[in-house]
Structure 1
Amino acid sequence: MTFQPLLWRRALPIAGLTAGLALLPKTTAYAEEPVTDPVNAIRMRKPIYDTPLSEPTATAISATTPLPASGITDKPQEENASRRPTPTDRLAKELSRGRLFLHRYAVKTEDGLNAGMDRFMSAEHSFTSTIASLAPPKESNEQLLPGSIYVLVAAMAGSIISRNRNILIRFVTPIITGVTTAHYMIPRTTQNVGNLIWDVEKQYPVVRDNHLRISQGIRHFIETGKAHSQMGLAMAEERVTGARETMEDWVKKGR
C-alpha cells in the first residue's frame, strides 16, 4: 500500500485535464467566412487566367508569333542569329579542315606517283620497242653475233692502219671501215640503225641539215668517182684496143 499515495498524485492532474476538455464549448473553425449566397459567391470569384478585353486581330497574332527557323524567311530567328559557335563546333571545324588538307595532299601524292609510273612504263616500252625494231627480220637469215664481231674487227683494223696518220684520218678511218663492213655483213640491221639515227636527228634541225649536206656531198663524191672510173675504164679500153690494132698491123706488115 505504499504505492497508493503516488498513484493518487499522478491521477489527479489527468482527471482535471479530462474534465476541462469535457466542459469546453464546441465551435467549428472555417478557413473562410461562411457565405449566405453560394451562387453569387461563385460568380464573383476571380478566374485563374486573365481574360483579354477584346479578341486579338490577325496582325497582332502574326506580330507576336515567332518566325520559323527553316531558312525560307528573310529574317532568321534571333536565337540562331545570336548563337555563337561552341568550342566543340570550332574543334569539329578545325578537324574537318585538317582532314580535307590531308585528303588533298594524299590525292596529289597519289597522282604524282601514278604520273611517274606512267612515264617510267612509257620510257621502258619505248626502249624495248626501239631495241626490238633494230633486229633484222627472221626471213632475212641475218645473224647479229658473227656480223657484229666482223664489224668490230674491221673498225679495229682501220684504227691500226691509220695509227701513223693525223688525228682526223685516225678518227674517220675506223668509222668508214666499220660502216662499210656493217653494210656488207649486216645490211638490214645497219639500215634499221640508220633509220633510228635519222628519227633522232629530225628533232634537231641543225644536225639534220648538216647530215643531209654531208650525205649529199658523199653521194656526189661517190657518183663522181664512179663516173671518172667509168671514163678511165673506157679510155683504157680504147687505148688497149688501139694498141692491139697497132700490134696487129705491125704483125701483118712483118709478114
Structure 2
Amino acid sequence: MASRLFTPQRFAPVATGAAMAAGIALFPRTTLHAESPNVPQARKPIYDDFESEPTPPARTSPRSNSPATPTKSSTPTPTDRLAVQIGKTRMFIYAHVVAAENKVNDVMDSALDLEQSFTSTIASLAPSRQSGEKLMPGSIYVLVAAMTGSIISRNRNIVLRAAVPLAVGIGAGWVVLPVTMRNVSDLMWKYEQKSPVIADAHLRTREAIQKTWRMARVHTKQAVSIVDDKVSAGREAAEDWVKKGK
C-alpha cells in the first residue's frame, strides 16, 4: 500500500514545485540597496536661502561638430532698468552743464579780448616820448578853443552853434596836438574802411576840402599880389607927384 502512494511518477511534480518555490524565495528579482552608515549625509541649515543646483552643461556628441545651444539671457530687473535711466539722466545733465560752462568761458574770453583791444587802442593814441608832445596842457587848450567857438556862435542858428565849436576844437587840436590828431585820424580811417560807403564819402570830402584849401591859397596869393601891385603903383604915383610938386 505504501509503495503505491510514493511512486516516482507521483513524487516528481511535487519535488519540482518545491524547488521552484525555494528558488523564488531565495533569489528575489528586485535588488535592495542599503545606505552606507559610514558616509555622512550633508545637511543644510534651515535658515539658508534656497539655491538651485547648477545644471550640468549639455554634452555634445563627439560625432556632431555643432556647438551647444546658448542659454537664454534673463530679463532685466526693475533695479537694472532704473540704473540705466539714472545713468542716461546723469549723462544728459553732464552734457548740458559742460555746454553751459563752455558758453560762459567763451563770453568771458570775448569780454577780456574786447577790454584788451580797447585799452590797447586808447594807449596807441597817445603820442610817443620822442615827439615831445604832452597831452595834459594840449587837451586843455583844445577844450578852451572849443568853448570859445561856442561863445562866438551862441547868437547864431543851431547849425553854426553845433559846427563852429567842433571846427574850432579840431583846428586847435591839429595845431596843438598834431601827433595825437594824426593817430586819431588813422584810427578813424581804419574803422571807416570797414564800410566802403563811408570811406568813399570821407575821401570825397577830404579831396573837396583840400581842393578848396588850395584854391583859397591860390586866390589869397593872387589877392596879395594884386594888392602889392596896387600899393606899389600908388606909392610910385605918390612919389612922382611929390617930385613934381617940388
* Percentage identity across paired residues of the two chains: 41
Does 1:239 find its partner at 2:244?
Answer: no
How far off its partner does 1:126 sit?
0.5
Does 1:139 find its partner at 2:130?
Answer: yes
Of 79, 82, 94, the residue aligned with 2:72 is 79
| Alignment partners' CA distance in 1, 2:196 and 2:151 | 35
Of 65, 68, 80, the residue aligned with 1:66 is 68
Of 124, 129, 139, the residue aligned with 2:115 is 124
SS in 1 for 2:155: coil
How far off its partner does 1:229 sit?
0.0
| Alignment partners' CA distance in 1, 2:177 and 2:196 | 29
How far off its partner does 1:202 sit?
2.1
How far off its partner does 1:84 sit?
1.9
How far off its partner does 1:145 sit?
1.1
Q: CA separation of 1:247/1:85 partners in 2, compared to 1, >3 Å: closer, same or farther?
A: same
Does 1:178 find its partner at 2:169?
Answer: yes
Give the aligned CA root-mean-square deviation in angstroms: 2.3
| Alignment partners' CA distance in 2, 1:238 and 1:103 | 92
How far off its partner does 1:57 sit?
6.3
Aligned to 1:95: 86
How far off its partner does 1:188 sit?
0.9
Q: Deviations over 1:48-105 (max 9, x none)?
A: xxxxxxxx6613xx45x514xxxxxxxxx2513xx32221221121111011112101
187-196 vs 148-157, which moves further: 187-196
SS in 2 for 1:113: helix
Superposition TM-score, scaled by structure 2 size: 0.71
Of 229, 232, 246, the residue aligned with 2:220 is 229
How far off its partner does 1:195 sit?
1.6
How far off its partner does 1:247 sit?
3.0
| Alignment partners' CA distance in 2, 1:130 and 1:211 | 22
SS in 1 for 2:207: helix
Gaps of 5+ in 1: 1-31, 36-40, 46-55, 68-76
Aligned to 1:152: 143
| Alignment partners' CA distance in 1, 2:239 and 2:227 | 18
Q: CA separation of 1:57/1:187 partners in 2, compared to 1, >3 Å: closer, same or farther?
A: closer
Does 1:213 find its partner at 2:204?
Answer: yes
One-letter amino acid matched to 1:58: R
Q: CA separation of 1:144/1:57 partners in 2, compared to 1, >3 Å: closer, same or farther?
A: closer
Q: Deviations over 1:235-255 (max 9, x none)?
A: 112222222333333344445
Superposition TM-score, scaled by structure 1 size: 0.68
